[in-house]
A and B are shown apart, each in its own frame.
Chain A
Amino acid sequence: MNYAFLIDNRRCIGCHACSVACKAEHEVPLGVARTWVKYVDKGVFPETRRTFQVTRCNHCEDAPCVEICPTTALFRRRDGIVDFDSRRCIGCKACMQGCPYDALYIDPQTETAAKCNFCAHKVEVGLEPPCVTVCPTQAIVAGDLDDATSRIVHLTGRLPVQVRKPEKGTRPKVFYVEGDAAALVPLAAPPASDYMWAQGPPPSALTAAMPGLDVAGAPRRTYATREQHRNSWGWKVSAYLWTKSIAAGAFLVPAVGVARAPGSEPVPLPALLIALLALAATGVLLIWDLRQPARFLWTLTRPQWRSWLTRGSYVIAAYGLALAAQVALALARRPASSTLIALTALLAAGTATYTAFLFGQAKGRDLWQSALLGPHLLVQALVAGAALFARPWLVVLLPVGGLLVAGEVWGRHATEDARLAARLIQDDPRFTTGVLVIGHLLPLSILWGISSFQGMAGALALFGLFLWEHLYVQAPQQVPLA
């Protein structure tokens, strides 16, 4: 059994009945949507045409939301429906990064993630979802791809169909007959602040980064709902990356020093304490960012093992324990074994770099699908550590970090979405002034002796690091996904 939707654009008249029937069935709050109809106008008068596109969860065969969800709140049923259980959701919003289609939202009533669930409660008793039954022109077909007698098999077998973003490898199961690239591809007609009968989002940096949108006849989005994925990870997540770098680097840099000089002092207590403190701050930020903070332990107690959020939580927890053990040894004035130090260093490196895998699971964020991210996170941790304990190292680390930043921003990007996100960073004065000048050039010039405020170099490097994390987390979230 494998349920899927087919949207027949030969029939869809853009009436929004499906959207409202869905809202009524699920009592979906205002401001969020499980299914909606996108309008795109294109062409020059009198050859103008409007495209309607029913837009919703694709019930992917390889659903990134399921993979990234740390608690099995999102799951794929045996009948192919991707469903969710709000009682298991911790509100981490990772699914909103994972989904390349902007299908998920946080329900303001329950403060948990939600999306189209194919009305599994109806399907189980043998009924079509209300969006299907309400449709005046029968443009929406719900059916079983494994049932050769079903209408959806008949139609998908007979007609050419399109899906949204096949390149994501998610194997989406909402098939469009006569799907139009102007609507299927979000950037072909990005969100606008004025729709034909509704208010759009306020003008943003995005429009500035995309020239040529106001050319008459170019595809133009003329109706859309509010984007749901946007800014779902805010400053707390940026700050978590930063504190995590400090937590990792505060141990790693001294530890590398230990490794360089066998038999020397173990990682000193202040470094351990700073690492532990920064790690605690990381945990606080992570929990604070949850919409269900009381459920934070579920990442550990109800794990979904494929999620790097789960794995990362364990790494962080283990790192915390290892640090605590060393603090305890240090307080007892007993040396830590080199095995423990090596293990802790490994966990520190894991703490610094697991996020690369987590961000890799965020299929909705093309910029994050970067091979440089893992090494970069490690270098960021070292920069943070060096800024605190080994400023001279910065002379090497900052240029390396800078090169990695340059690689992320000016390097070749595989997709238009990634390019746009990079462009948003480039265009942001916080990048040029903050990250490049204040975060890199200024500390380097201090260290090269051009200035006499040597103590400032570390602080500036840390400041630059935070700004970079923030831009790097925020920019891809501005790219429209639907």
Chain B
Amino acid sequence: MTIERLLPGSALQAYPPPSKWDDWREYDVKAWPRRVERRYMLVPTVCFNCEAACGLLAYVDRATMRVRKFEGNPLHPASRGRNCAKGPATINQIQDPERILYPLKRAGKRGEGRWQRVGWDQVLDEIGARIRTAFREGRHDEVLYHVGRPGHERYMDRVLRAWGIDGHNSHTNVCSSAARLGYALWSGYDRPSPDHARARFILLLSAHLESGHYFNPHAQRIIDGKLAGATLAVMDPRLSNTASMADHWLPTYPGSEAAVLLAMARVILDEGLADLAYVERWTNWREFMAHRRPGDEPTFGAFLAALKDHYREFTPEFAEAESGVDRHRIVEVARLIGTARGAFASHVWRGSASGNLGGWQVARALQLLTVLTGSVGTPGGTSPHAWNKYKPVFWEEPPAHARWNELLFPPEWPLSHYEMSFLLPHFLKEGRGKLDVYFTRVYNPVWTNPDGMTWVEALRDEAMVGLHAALTPTWSETAVFADYVLPMGHAGERHDIQSQETQSGRWVSFRQPVVRAARERLGETFRYTYETNPGEVWEEDEFWVELSWRIDPDGALGIRRWFESPYRAGEKLTVHDYYRWIFENAVPGLPEAAAREGLEPLDYMRRYGAFLIEKDVHGLESQPVAVPPGAERDQETGRVRVEGKPIGVEVGGEVVTGFPTPSGRLEIYSRTLEEWGWPEDAMPGYIRSHVHRSNLDATRGEMLLLPTFRLPTLIHTRSGNAKYLAEISHRNPLWMHTSDARRLRLVTGDLVRVTTEIGYSVNRVWVTESIAPGVVACSHHLGRWRLHEGEGSRWSTVRVRLETRDGAWMLRQVEGIGPFASSDPDSSRIFWSDGGVHQNLTFPVHPDPVSGMHCWHQKVVVTQAQADDRYGDVFVDTNRSMEVYREWARRARPGPGPGGLRRPLWLDRPLRPVDSAFFKP
């Protein structure tokens, strides 16, 4: 049997042409070199591993209607058919013999490991009734949804608004909120969107060639930019794969990054490399002069002098002393940035921003370089993320709620960029509130967050958490302490809309259950996605609609109506209705593109999976704005308002869109910080980290632990069920520089005890030249565990024994990774025995007093292991961790702020309430 070649001769194409996706024929790889034909339907979806939302193309075997493999979706504007290792590994997650196939309900005590299979109806009835009671009794704040990774754009926002609760909690304050705050203070937009492909200089304080928002799409464009002539510099104390690709590796001592960046800014200012016209036009320098230099002439020249004066202390020598990076290298890089002529692309996301006290200033210092070089929103520069991100709207928006849940936004941290999510168990233990129904959605705080044992203490206590439902595709250390474990689908098993700021342009992509989509294309109909998924694995979209109907069966609570079809009055909303409406009405250009193919918009997205709304988006801050009569103009800032609402900003005599900041400009000076108790940090600056050298006691042998780095092959606790990924990466030794190892008399492989403020872990040391002296590093990706058989994927978890007495917790490995019998013969071929060490348990919480971000870096003492220490041991004292929490909480400067506000009105927050709720009653 011969299949016709796509092109004559020897030419090869990357992907089958979409016109052949319905019935693609290729040879059976197992039968080869016998030519046996296989027929597939190629159905696009979106990866569910990291947040980048890369396109996948499922090969659904037409004979079995099962997914054979996942490749990339060539029509996806960001990933362009390419993926990282986690994309093709999706097939492992779907075929994992260890996955949870049916809803489970706790049979014994919490965490005891006894479960019974239940039906979805029972789950929905029981949880729905409980929430209904809470709502009827006015206990809205006791219902909380806690999301690990917000997937579906705005879907949950809509659900929670429909429920009328302030009940959205996220993971962001253990992830990125420090950098977000830094960016937001500048421009009102809390993420950068660097245009790497056209940059002349790329500066990364991140490891985007191997991880992060957004690894694969950004790596493509960083390398494209580099090959096109851009210079790449990377700040990282550890030789990441990214740093190794750099033209300039700047191994900055952790926490010193802002000092180096400000020294670069000083070079750019002093050497006349700054784009002063841009700075004059777009920064709020007049506001600075008015408030900081009221006696001086309010001219730009005076401002410039003041600015230079402000950063005078940031000499290259100072930067070298702080960072350990050669001052000549700093000056050289600064000059290259200064001559990038508006094509300076940069990014900080986690890294130093999330590691250090005051990390939010790192993002501000970095953005200062973007502003000084006039690279904001330019081709090759760095744009605000919202310019490059799509957000859907709905046929009917539930109104904003009017509540303020202080378990999420407590008064101590009025500027916290996201919810103080990682302090939830501490708040519960303090009696600040309790939870009646708690949903964790693909969220594993016991493992991922700092101080996991305090989470365990709260989750085990039914007085603190009445009901805990874990929505997850796979077992997690947190699901173990749930009352219901509710299996939800992987990439090719669920619906979502995804859009990210991966490049200069705006796109939308469609995650869909591929087998359902394929079978529907062949004429079958299904009511629920779990009918086509393995077991009874469901999808959340349908779960929340069903649950909402059970909370409010008769519509009396006013909830049900938001979950009715926009097409059939009074009938239950289906996933088809939901996405059909969005694609028909809320994606510019999509209906026309679909019509050109003779398709309905929903069918277009089902078939192609992604749509490019616009490309090359630049200059959105300079769009002219029509000024209605009665508009008011602020003298200091040029902000133009109508009835108090900003509509634009006057720049150079013209009213344009500007930026969503109070001044409408790029805020080099933050009046907000000044007014909310942080005048010393009102400018981009340098805050000495809690792990600054001066805060380490060398006589005690204290070192800095960098515990946050990621591997290209894994993604937090989502990917432990992918055997091909576990095969490549399965341990996380402690990286230590040769000189430190010599001092401590350690060689690679030696067992060490890593002691933190609240406990210790026992790991092996990996001696290397690839890390700065004085710093040790350990990837947070490994060290997964399970308490009982059946409660964790054996590809990646070790079995442990967990013992506790009076807040002292001891976790010890009792069984490593090893071969096991299953339906997958590969499980008997596992050759590694190491599963890594769970270090996060030993970290106390470190809430940054401004951003609220957990400051990840740790002060540790590394010693040779003691006689009865065993690899993987973890000891934690939660009494001590509560003390550390209180010490850090005392650093905060509580609200309310000006006018009795809980939080500045202009700073956004998730699930934003009505404005009146911002005011403390």
Contacts and interface: CB of A to CB of B under 8 A. Distances in A.
Interface stretch (A115-123, A245-253, A285-293): A115-123
A140 B217 CA distance: 17
B84 A17 contact: yes
Contacts of B227: 10-11
Interface in B242-268: 242, 244-245, 249, 251
A21 B59 CA distance: 13
Interface string A232-262: 0000000000000000000000000000000
A19 B10 CA distance: 24
Nearest to B251: A46
B748 A194 contact: yes
Interface string A13-43: 1111101110111110111000000000101
B724 interface: yes
Interface string B4-46: 1111011111111000000001111110111100000000000
Contact of B832 (A84, A194, A196, A199): A199
Contacts of A197: 711, 713, 728-733, 779, 781-782
A79 B69 CA distance: 27
A135 interface: yes
B390 interface: no
Given A17-B87, A120-B32, A198-B731, A45 B766 contact: no
Interface stretch (B104-112, B121-129, B769-777, B867-875): B769-777
Contacts of B28: 121
Contacts of A31: 727, 829, 831
B81 A79 contact: no
B773 A45 contact: yes
A150 B13 CA distance: 12
A11 B223 contact: yes
Given A120-B32, A199-B833, A128 B70 contact: no
Given A52-B241, A147-B9, A194-B766, A14 B210 contact: yes
Given A24-B70, A50-B239, A83-B33, A126 B6 contact: yes
A36 B27 CA distance: 24
A26 B724 contact: no
Contacts of B213: none
Interface residues of A, number: 76
B737 A23 contact: no
Contacts of A128: 12-14
Contacts of A137: 219-220, 223-224
B209 interface: yes
Interface in B718-740: 723-725, 727-733, 735, 737-738
A19 B85 contact: yes
A214 to B, nearest CB: 8
A126 B219 CA distance: 27
Contacts of B84: 15, 17, 136
A406 interface: no
A127 interface: yes
A41 B768 contact: yes
Given A14-B241, A147-B9, A43 B832 contact: no
Given A133-B72, A137-B220, A197-B730, A125 B3 contact: yes
Contacts of B4: 125
A138 to B, nearest CB: 8
B385 interface: no
A124 B239 contact: no
Contacts of A43: 769
Contacts of B5: 124-126
B216 interface: yes
B830 A30 contact: yes
B81 A133 contact: yes
Contact of B30 (A17, A27, A144, A216): A27
A13 B91 contact: no
Interface in A27-71: 27, 29-31, 41, 43-46, 48-52
B749 interface: yes
Nearest to B250: A46
B359 interface: no
A30 B830 CA distance: 7
Nearest to B224: A137
B83 A146 contact: no
Q: A19, A25, A127, A146 — which one has the most chain B CB atoms within 10 A of its CB?
A: A127
A120 B33 contact: yes
A15 B831 contact: no
A20 B90 CA distance: 10
Counting chain A CB atoms within 10 Å of each CB, the highest count among B25, B70, B829 belongs to B829
B724 A24 contact: yes
A199 B239 contact: no
B773 A13 contact: no
Interface of B: 3-7, 9-16, 25-30, 32-35, 69-72, 81-89, 91-92, 209-210, 215-216, 219-220, 223-224, 226-227, 239, 241-242, 244-245, 249, 251, 325, 711-713, 723-725, 727-733, 735, 737-738, 747-749, 764, 766, 768-773, 779, 781-782, 825-826, 829-834
Given A13-B223, A15-B712, A50-B241, 16 more contacts: A15-B713, A17-B83, A21-B87, A31-B831, A44-B769, A45-B770, A46-B772, A49-B239, A123-B12, A126-B5, A126-B6, A126-B13, A127-B13, A127-B15, A134-B83, A144-B10
Interface of A: 1, 3, 10-11, 13-17, 19-21, 23-27, 29-31, 41, 43-46, 48-52, 79, 83-85, 87, 108-109, 117, 119-128, 130, 132-139, 142-144, 146-147, 150, 193-194, 196-199, 214, 216-217, 220, 222-223, 226
19 contacts: A13-B242, A13-B245, A24-B89, A24-B91, A29-B826, A48-B249, A50-B244, A121-B32, A126-B11, A132-B12, A136-B84, A137-B223, A142-B12, A143-B12, A197-B713, A197-B733, A198-B729, A220-B768, A222-B768
